[in-house]
Amino acid sequence: MQLVFSDAQYWEDFLPLTFTRPVAEMRCGILTFSERWQKILENTEVSFFTEMYLQGKFPEPEKKESLFLVTNFLPSETVIQQIKDLQQGEALVYEDELVAARINMDGFSLQQIEKMTDIKEELVFFKKPTDLFTYNQKAIDFDFELLTEGKTSQELSSTNGFLGDKKDLFIEEGAQVEFSTLNTKTGKIYIGKNAEVMEGCMLRGPIALGESSKFNLGSKIYGATTIGPHCKVGGEVNNIIIFGYTNKGHDGFIGNSVIGEWCNFGADSNSSNMKNNYGNVRLWNYRTKAFEDTGLQFAGLIMGDHSKTAINTQLNTGTVIGVASNIFKEGFPPNHIENFSWGGFKDDEKFKLDKAYEVAGRAMARRNVVLTEEDKAILKHVFDTY
């Protein structure tokens, strides 16, 4: 059966991360929401019910019987079974919001739903960017069990120091970990296929290092931290999520942050994650077009795809950076940096679209990924519209 992953009402709440992807393609824990549900439901026939300009890259649903699913939550075993047991015209509702329905996408209408059942138990639901790092430990725990059940970890090399229980460490095939320290007393550590932990790293779980990603020499990583595939990370990081294909390879600190794909941090770039007065952090909200109180004392950086910082860039607590922005001017940039900013400050000129294509193409080619016409169309829409 076709899985239809719906953005529902959440797409705008996750900007700038969702300017270039549906909600289901965000990463939290070890997997993206899409990957997690495909694994749970043992189904890879996937389509997306999302913004029209994204449908060129992310396929629209076929007009047939489907399981319509809002993906941005962690289900219990009971809820998973309830979803699997749905019959045509039945739906599940959580906190007055539809989360799953068995319907026909031919003439899609919620009027097809004849029976709605409330989910009574409390779920971990991700409703805004800061939820991704706030609840990341729960997501890592969930995915760790999902991915490692029935599998055997590689042995940890004797060159390493280890604290904790070995059942909370999993090293996939082809991964290399040498002359480092790993501590699972505070959370699980998952090292993905063909990943590398270089010498002198200090890892304190919960941590997930994605396929073919790397912790550079002497990195200090503490959780809950997720590094997606094909990344290079160094320096000090705490409770961050990187979706994938991003480099923060040098010294410098980033904490309590979510970073998209194809980003790059110049050497000694730092992001503050707490205000000097210990007050709640405010973040730019694209829906209300204003800074909103997060209710959090720790919140660092939310960065959209293809954005970059120059060496020694110093980012204030609670900074939101759009898509394809380049931050390189002297001084602290503002807390909201617009899409395609060339410099990082208010009223700076825009990064020219053809140049943005050129840089993105070069960066992606280094990972043997092609900048497609669909990718260009998405960037153009963001450039023209937002």
Place of tokens 């992606």: 364
| pLDDT per residue rounded down to tens, the chain (386 residues) | 999 999 988 999 999 999 999 999 999 999 999 999 999 999 999 999 999 999 999 999 999 999 999 999 999 999 999 999 999 999 999 999 999 999 999 988 878 889 999 999 999 999 999 999 999 999 999 999 999 999 999 999 999 999 999 999 999 999 999 999 999 999 999 999 999 999 999 999 999 999 999 999 999 999 899 999 999 999 999 999 999 999 999 999 999 999 999 999 999 999 999 999 999 999 999 999 999 999 999 999 999 999 999 999 999 999 999 999 999 999 999 999 999 999 999 889 999 999 999 999 999 999 999 999 999 999 999 999 99
Nearest Cα residue to 343 out of 319, 301, 313, 320: 313
Statement to judge: residues 40 and 155 lie in one domain: no
Statement to judge: residues 12 and 99 lie in one domain: yes
Statement to judge: residues 67 and 139 lie in one domain: no
Last residue of a domain, one of 127, 151, 169: 127
Last residue of a domain, one of 127, 153, 186: 127
Statement to judge: residues 64 and 142 lie in one domain: no
176-177 vs 207-209, strand pairing mode: unpaired
Statement to judge: residues 113 and 168 lie in one domain: no
- With contact defined as beta carbons under 8 Å apart, do 195 and 175 qualify? yes
User: Could you tell me the CATH number of the domain that includes residue 93?
Assistant: 3.90.550
User: What kind and span of H or E run contains 100?
Assistant: strand 97-104
Last residue of a domain, one of 78, 110, 127: 127
Virtual torsion, Cα 78, 84, 90, 96, nearest 10 deg: 40
Six-digit token string for 52: 């029209």
Statement to judge: residues 99 and 227 lie in one domain: no
Q: List the domain range (segments joined by +) for residue 12.
A: 2-127
Statement to judge: residues 116 and 36 lie in one domain: yes
pTM: 0.96
- Structural domain tally of the chain? 2
User: Could you tell me the CATH number of the domain that includes residue 367?
Assistant: 2.160.10.10
How far apart CA 253 and CA 269 sit, in angstroms, is: 7
Statement to judge: residues 324 and 371 lie in one domain: yes
Number of helices (H), then strands (E), in the chain: 6, 36
282-285 vs 290-293, strand pairing mode: antiparallel
Statement to judge: residues 122 and 141 lie in one domain: no
Statement to judge: residues 114 and 137 lie in one domain: no
- With contact defined as beta carbons under 8 Å apart, do 84 and 123 qualify? no
Query: How many C-beta neighbours within 10 Å does residue 269 have?
Result: 24
- With contact defined as beta carbons under 8 Å apart, do 207 and 190 qualify? yes
Statement to judge: residues 159 and 283 lie in one domain: yes
Nearest Cα residue to 301 out of 278, 327, 277, 329: 327
User: What kind and span of H or E run contains 214?
Assistant: strand 214-215
Statement to judge: residues 74 and 187 lie in one domain: no
As beta bridge partners, residue 189 has 169, 207
DSSP 3-state of 80: helix
